[in-house]
A and B are shown apart, each in its own frame.
Chain A
């Protein structure tokens, strides 16, 4: 017999180029985490093509749903609520997940819960370790670079964000300039570990006290350096370019994160998003926070990139807090985290 007090959340995430479904028990226990990645298809284009992403999602959605339910050995009847990423992301891609979630919720008369993608990235960590508030989250991915303060569950205060390119975007663009395949982040991370940070690339600190970020100047500086060298017939070591670029990115990220963590006297630092997989960033953060009482949580690689387990984890709390979406739930490609945190409870 199933314990009635247990809570089972089925979550769907289709905001970009992964079709993902997961089932999480009691907000913390991952029962299944199915992901169909489209990355091979988008590689041809050097980036994610929205229309093609949408087409792949609709090809995969029921396959991934079935896989998640089978792996978790859970039936739809046992599910307490359906959680789904409602934004931000690519609108056509989000729509597949949102409509599939609504179809499931309606077919089985289950509650529906909308989840913000970044809230999901943060909550991925709760599958590993219980939160201790206040906590600071550094979210770094292809689409996001944000510092978020959380004083309690469901509360998200954005204290810093990028004013231009996201960190992951800068990685992809620099990788492209270096002739590395898409997605470039892991390639740069690997090259950087083999090179020396010999070139002093700029660091954008912005106004004093600001927790905002800017990476477009750095990206331009790298591209200009490569261009100038090739005009002079010089060849720069790719490893050194990668190491110098990465050092500049990490220096700014870690310094600002450390300062914010001190100012807000947080108990935990959570690192989330695809760039959290970056080995250089992980090492530098561990080193910087080693002397403090602040606990640094970095999810395992499989929970750093987009997945539905994180949406289930965030959806679990939202469900407990009484948040419900109607059957008129829509995809919101530019959903802000703070507006999401202030949404009313139905």
Chain B
């Protein structure tokens, strides 16, 4: 079972090839570079390292968001087009869940988050149980200060995982103090090896209708709905 995994939802770009649950090759960068330029050559590289050609693939797992709209679309477009044309299943995994998985052995809650500008974040809260993550607070696009208040009420230690951590460190410490645990730098990097592992046994998507989970309406759409008194957000 050869799995290709792709995550381009934020600044980190990661792609990996797994054989079942075993990592064969992984390529991960954490640079401000255009994923559209770098992704396909990276996929070519990991497959080559793994000694596989595209038709040897049995499944593609992709981080489907939330995250940068453009970034997520690059990953999902690549994954769904490849899966469609190779006639293999594609599995979408939450980008937040994939990031949170880095904290699987933490004895408490895990909050993964991505900066969403203007004080907002995409964030979710999970609790590890038997090698899986249970959702404690659903993924949201939320003001980080409101989110932290919510976490305070959980009265449990919270491990924070997020590559944009430095932007929010002060907020977290101020609101949660000792309740907050900050993961070591390398734990903040979502890795395609982990993503592929999470998605290996999950249900496949219906390829044609498979789209990113933006977790937020396009601004024009939100305004349009609001103007009609149908504020869905």
The chain B residue sitting closest to A12, CB to CB, is: B81
CA distance A66 to B81 in the complex (A): 10
Task: Tell me if B133 counts as interface (CB < 8 A to partner A).
Answer: no
The chain A residue sitting closest to B85, CB to CB, is: A107
Stretch of B123-131, B142-150, B211-219 that contacts chain A:
B211-219
The reply to whether A107 and B82 contact each other, CB–CB distance below 8 Å, is yes
CA distance A221 to B211 in the complex (A): 45
Point out the residues of chain A lying under 8 angstroms from B81, CB to CB: 61-62, 65, 99-100, 103-104, 107
Task: Tell me if A92 counts as interface (CB < 8 A to partner B).
Answer: yes
With contact pairs A106-B54, A328-B41 given, residues A99 and B78 touching in the complex (Cβ less than 8 Å): yes
Point out the residues of chain A lying under 8 angstroms from B34, CB to CB: 330
The reply to whether A102 and B78 contact each other, CB–CB distance below 8 Å, is yes
CA distance A130 to B207 in the complex (A): 39
With contact pairs A59-B211, A63-B208 given, residues A106 and B77 touching in the complex (Cβ less than 8 Å): no
CA distance A102 to B38 in the complex (A): 11
Point out the residues of chain A lying under 8 angstroms from B36, CB to CB: 95, 98-99, 330-331
Chain A: minimal CB distance from B207 (Å): 6
The reply to whether A92 and B54 contact each other, CB–CB distance below 8 Å, is no
With contact pairs A103-B82, A107-B85 given, residues A52 and B221 touching in the complex (Cβ less than 8 Å): yes
User: Per-position contact with A for B194-224: 1 when CB-CB < 8 Å, else 0?
Assistant: 0000000000000111011010001111001
Chain A: minimal CB distance from B9 (Å): 14
The reply to whether A49 and B40 contact each other, CB–CB distance below 8 Å, is no
| Interface residue tally for chain A (C-beta within 8 Å) | 34
Point out the residues of chain A lying under 8 angstroms from B207, CB to CB: 62
The reply to whether B77 and A330 contact each other, CB–CB distance below 8 Å, is no
The chain B residue sitting closest to A94, CB to CB, is: B36
Q: For chain B, what secondary structure do more than half of its interface residues adopt (helix, strand, loop), or is it mixed?
A: helix
The chain A residue sitting closest to B88, CB to CB, is: A107
Task: Tell me if A72 counts as interface (CB < 8 A to partner B).
Answer: no
User: Per-position contact with A for B76-106: 1 when CB-CB < 8 Å, else 0?
Assistant: 1111111011100000000000000000000
Task: Tell me if B44 counts as interface (CB < 8 A to partner A).
Answer: yes
The reply to whether A58 and B212 contact each other, CB–CB distance below 8 Å, is yes
CA distance A44 to B40 in the complex (A): 36
Point out the residues of chain B lying under 8 angstroms from A104, CB to CB: 81, 85
The reply to whether B211 and A45 contact each other, CB–CB distance below 8 Å, is no
Task: Tell me if B43 counts as interface (CB < 8 A to partner A).
Answer: yes
User: Per-position contact with B for A53-80: 1 when CB-CB < 8 Å, else 0?
Assistant: 0110011011101100000000010000
Task: Tell me if B180 counts as interface (CB < 8 A to partner A).
Answer: no
CA distance A59 to B210 in the complex (A): 7
Point out the residues of chain A lying under 8 angstroms from B209, CB to CB: 59
Point out the residues of chain A lying under 8 angstroms from B80, CB to CB: 58, 61-62
User: Per-position contact with B for A306-333: 1 when CB-CB < 8 Å, else 0?
Assistant: 0000000000000000000011111100
Q: Name B54's contact: one of A45, A49, A107 (CB within 8 Å).
A: A107
Point out the residues of chain B lying under 8 angstroms from A331, CB to CB: 36
CA distance A98 to B78 in the complex (A): 9
Chain A: minimal CB distance from B137 (Å): 26
CA distance A45 to B214 in the complex (A): 20
The reply to whether B40 and A54 contact each other, CB–CB distance below 8 Å, is no
The chain A residue sitting closest to B54, CB to CB, is: A107
CA distance A62 to B44 in the complex (A): 21
Task: Tell me if B59 counts as interface (CB < 8 A to partner A).
Answer: no
The reply to whether B82 and A106 contact each other, CB–CB distance below 8 Å, is yes
Task: Tell me if B74 counts as interface (CB < 8 A to partner A).
Answer: yes
Task: Tell me if B69 counts as interface (CB < 8 A to partner A).
Answer: yes
CA distance A329 to B44 in the complex (A): 14
Task: Tell me if B39 counts as interface (CB < 8 A to partner A).
Answer: yes
With contact pairs A45-B224, A62-B84 given, residues A54 and B37 touching in the complex (Cβ less than 8 Å): no
Point out the residues of chain A lying under 8 angstroms from B191, CB to CB: none
CA distance A327 to B36 in the complex (A): 9
Point out the residues of chain A lying under 8 angstroms from B69, CB to CB: 51, 54, 92
Task: Tell me if A151 counts as interface (CB < 8 A to partner B).
Answer: no
The reply to whether B77 and A51 contact each other, CB–CB distance below 8 Å, is no
- 21 chain-A/chain-B pairs, Cβ below 8 angstroms: A49-B220, A52-B221, A54-B73, A62-B207, A65-B81, A92-B73, A95-B70, A95-B77, A98-B36, A99-B39, A99-B73, A99-B78, A102-B40, A103-B79, A104-B85, A106-B40, A106-B54, A107-B85, A108-B54, A109-B54, A330-B36
Given contacts A49-B218, A99-B36, A103-B40, 20 further A-B contacts (CB under 8 A): A45-B224, A51-B69, A51-B220, A54-B69, A58-B77, A62-B207, A66-B84, A76-B85, A98-B36, A99-B77, A100-B77, A103-B79, A104-B81, A106-B82, A107-B54, A108-B54, A109-B53, A326-B41, A327-B44, A330-B34
Residue positions of A touching B, CB distance < 8 A = 44-45, 49, 51-52, 54-55, 58-59, 61-63, 65-66, 76, 92, 95-96, 98-100, 102-104, 106-109, 326-331
Residue positions of B touching A, CB distance < 8 A = 34, 36-41, 43-44, 53-55, 69-70, 73-74, 76-82, 84-86, 207-209, 211-212, 214, 218-221, 224
The 6 closest A-B pairs by CB, nearest first: A103-B81, A327-B40, A51-B218, A49-B220, A99-B77, A100-B81
